Amino acid sequence: METAVQSILEILKEQDITKSQLAEKSGLALGTISRILNGKQALKTETLTKIANALEVSIYEIRDTEADSNARFKVAGYLDYCGDIYRIKSLKDLKTQVKKIETLEEGFKFKEKKLPPQKPVQLTDIDFNRWEDIDASKVEVRSFKSGKDIVEGEPFDIGNMCSGYPFLLNGVRFNNSEAAYIAGKFSNNTDVHIKIQKQLTENNDGYAAKKKIRQKNEVVARSKEDWETFNVEYMKYVVWQKCKTNKDFAKKLKSVPITALIVENSTGMTSETAQVWGCFNQSLMDLRYAKEKKYQMERPTAKEEELNIERNKWNRYGIWEGRNLMGKILKACSICLINDEELPIDYDLLRSKHIYLLGKEMEFPQQRNAKLRKGIIGAIIGDIVGSRYEFAKKIPAKIQRLFGSSSTFTDDTILTIAIADALISKKPFADTLWDYGQLYPNAGWGYSFKKWLKGSKGTQNNSQGNGCAMRISPVGFYAKTIEEALELAKECTIPTHNSPEGIAGAQAIAASVFLAKNGHSKDDIKSYVENKFGYDLSLSVAEIHAFVKGVKQEEREFVKNTAPVAIMSFLEADNYENTIRLAISFGIDTDTTACMAGGIAAAYWGVPQELIEEAIGYLPDELLDVINKFDKTTFKNHRITPPQILRWRKDYIVAYGTNTDDTAGEDGYGDTHPSNFNHHPLIGYPIRTIGVSLEDVKTDIAGFITYAKANPDKTFLVSKVGLGKSGLGINVVAPLFEDAQELTNVYLPRAIVEAL
């Protein structure tokens, strides 16, 4: 809005009048004129009148500030609107009420439109440092402001201040998360802070807890000096513990649609952190007021509960502005609860701050990775990582890279998936194991299992091998009780390993996974397995190496030897990754031992996200589909052809480069020509690349893409076509496969994908 000074300056310019001339005409001192026009002196009504007369304009032509207007125009009276009487003392009051009425009128007319399709919110979408501008008409938002909020007809009392969801924080009971949060602010190991924390544990009301602390300035001055450096991570920890120790609160957060954002509505709050922890949306609050007003006019006898439901019914309006830390923390917790995963928290930071609660330093999990997932993916990663060392004569003293060009899934992964599929699909174990075995003839089956596959799935094997234990981790994750874990382990072992050793080994691994998943300590797991199955798990790392060396070569795949080593690898390690490394280092059936140990470690610690991202590149979509259903995840293969493809399904088609008569080929050729390999050949799709013209290569690749498009039910693994003996090179070959990138049934080599 233009001020009176701005209007005067414009008139002076239009009339070509100087400040000196204005001073002379108005009778005012030049200094007064200069100070007014420079904004250093207030413009009073008397002075304004003299200037207007000197410029020969009406005083009303000079636009004025509201303050000046109120000084010149006396406005008083009452305004009656919709039964409400507003007292008007000034022009400013009148303008305010008129604006309020205009807002009400707009609100009366407003009708919510349907939201556009929403995508699921991922943890990676949540940025705790970002300032948000969320358009509520385009993005689904669940907001909360107080314990009286109603969403979809149900109370949405998820805020820190709300009582009704008591929880445990490091064994100490709090009635609301605000009190627990404040306890972190006063968490030095001093008598004063211990006294404050005791009062907070007794407080039922978050608002009262906050108000009491604020009133005592001498206490505030003694708060933990570096509080602002870790308060956000501490809040995450507080809310996550509330989720983990109060089932009703967790259930409420899980009920929030995965597509909806959560926003703390801090509109109208005056604290400095109001828009840090929450967001403002005054437009929405105005709309809600209007809708509530209209509802009240139509139903004069409406009760407060009805009005509350009506006002909270309106959400798709206005812009939410703020950092919204509290809303983001709650949404992150909701996602993790839905996906059954751990909330990413910087425990190292919290541990370094030496936070005390009632005189005892708080202990935090040892998780070092930002994102961890529990599930059978942990066992499968163990198999893939261990595969490259399975027949190694010497295991490196220190394994540098977990994955390599010779890494691949094996029979351990296939049968782990089979058991998971049987559990969630309620299929017979024997039928599912047999069916998966037929689909993957090159998975690396042991002699006994291969013999069973050649027979009938109705027959039983009495093997003592470790194949029963390597596939058993899904049982530990699936079972609701230890008794169910033991019984299911026995049921899925009998078809192929119906021996006392086989059943005991499978049950030992399944029980370890079950106990780890349910938060039991290593000592609990060790004690249970030793007492139940008679394994000696007290060996040191050196003693385990000595034990392994003493195992006869023909017994190195017996379950009685590998299952204890897998469990001890977990007991000796301090995180998931080190468990895998240790299991492999013993050099006894490395893929299987790492698979068993990985399943237990995943249940206990969770699996680092970066390992998962690397591992899924070695897995086909149909296996990932089962993992996602079982682990409640959303892993996706980026359709990159892995270095090793021999173990993939027998009905997959391998595209490879070759010469005209198909007697010499490039990568992938050997997987489809079994002349010098003892395996079931994969189906091949030859593409001429050796000893032919570039036009021939283009013709064959175009023909392949056309064929793949026409057969969406078939899956194609493109090997390094043109990147071997042909010498064509990536710059020539990659552009020829550009149209294949969009085909969901085609996997391309990483080199080609990166070049496109």
Would you list the domain boundaries of the chain?
A: 4-72, 123-281+318-361, 372-395+406-631, 640-755
State the residue for tokens 């330093």: 361
What's the CATH superfamily of 372-395+406-631? ADP-ribosylation/Crystallin J1 (1.10.4080.10)
Rounded to an integer, the average pLDDT of 351-362 is 92
Neighbours of 98 (CB within 10 A): 14
Q: Class of the 4-72 domain?
A: mainly alpha
> DSSP 3-state assignment of 361?
strand
Among 139-153, 450-464, 546-560, 599-613, name the most confident range: 599-613
Rounded to an integer, the average pLDDT of 644-670 is 92
Spatial contact of 690 and 658, defined as CB atoms under 8 Å apart: yes
> DSSP 3-state assignment of 260?
coil
In this predicted model, what pLDDT tens digit does every residue of 192-234 receive, in sequence order?
Answer: 899 888 888 887 765 566 666 655 544 554 788 889 999 999 9
Instruction: For 119-217, list the strands marked E by DSSP.
Output: 132-135, 141-144, 150-151, 154-155, 167-169, 172-174
Query: pLDDT category, 457, cuts 50, 70, 90?
Result: confident
Rounded to an integer, the average pLDDT of 690-711 is 96
Whether pLDDT at 661 is above 80: yes
Rounded to an integer, the average pLDDT of 418-445 is 92
Asked if the 123-281+318-361 domain carries CATH number 1.10.357.40, the reply is yes
State the residue for tokens 């002076």: 12
Distance of alpha carbon 627 from alpha carbon 607, whole angstroms: 14
Name the CATH architecture for the domain at 640-755.
3-Layer(aba) Sandwich (3.40)
Whether pLDDT at 311 is above 90: no
Give the residues across from 658 on adjacent strands: 665, 688
Cβ neighbours of residue 120 closer than 8 Å, sequence gap 6 or more: 258, 259, 634
Tell me the chain's radius of gyration from C-alpha atoms.
36
Query: pLDDT category, 236, cuts 50, 70, 90?
Result: very high
Whether pLDDT at 713 is above 90: yes
Rounded to an integer, the average pLDDT of 511-531 is 92
Query: pLDDT category, 370, cuts 50, 70, 90?
Result: very low
CA distances from 241 to 342, 373, 466 (A): 11, 17, 39
Whether pLDDT at 1 is above 70: no
Query: pLDDT category, 71, cuts 50, 70, 90?
Result: very low
- The single-letter DSSP state of residue 442 is T
Q: Which amino acid is at 599?
A: G
Whether pLDDT at 63 is above 70: no
Q: What percent of the chain has pLDDT over 90?
A: 49
Whether pLDDT at 150 is above 80: no
Structure tokens at 569: 């690898």
> DSSP 3-state assignment of 296?
helix
Q: Which of the residue ranges 264-273, 557-566, 638-647, 674-683 would you say has the lowest mean pLDDT? A: 674-683
Cβ neighbours of residue 221 closer than 8 Å, sequence gap 6 or more: none
Q: Which of the residue ranges 93-102, 621-630, 660-669 would you say has the lowest mean pLDDT? A: 93-102
At residue 627, the pLDDT reads: 95
Q: Which of the residue ranges 387-396, 665-674, 687-696 would you say has the lowest mean pLDDT? A: 387-396
Rounded to an integer, the average pLDDT of 359-382 is 80
Cβ neighbours of residue 139 closer than 8 Å, sequence gap 6 or more: 115, 118, 261
Query: pLDDT category, 426, cuts 50, 70, 90?
Result: very high
At residue 652, the pLDDT reads: 94
Spatial contact of 167 and 161, defined as CB atoms under 8 Å apart: no
Whether pLDDT at 75 is above 70: no
Distance of alpha carbon 172 from alpha carbon 198, whole angstroms: 10
DSSP states of 145-162 as a string? -STT-EETTEE---STT-
Among 5-9, 251-255, 267-271, name the most confident range: 251-255
Whether pLDDT at 270 is above 80: yes
Q: What is the 3-state secondary structure (H, E, C) of 451-482?
A: HHHHCCCCCCCECCECHHHHCCHHHHHHCCCH
Chain mean pLDDT for the chain: 86
At residue 485, the pLDDT reads: 95
Rounded to an integer, the average pLDDT of 522-542 is 93
- The single-letter DSSP state of residue 394 is S
- The single-letter DSSP state of residue 280 is B
Distance of alpha carbon 688 from alpha carbon 715, whole angstroms: 20
At residue 65, the pLDDT reads: 43
Neighbours of 669 (CB within 10 A): 21
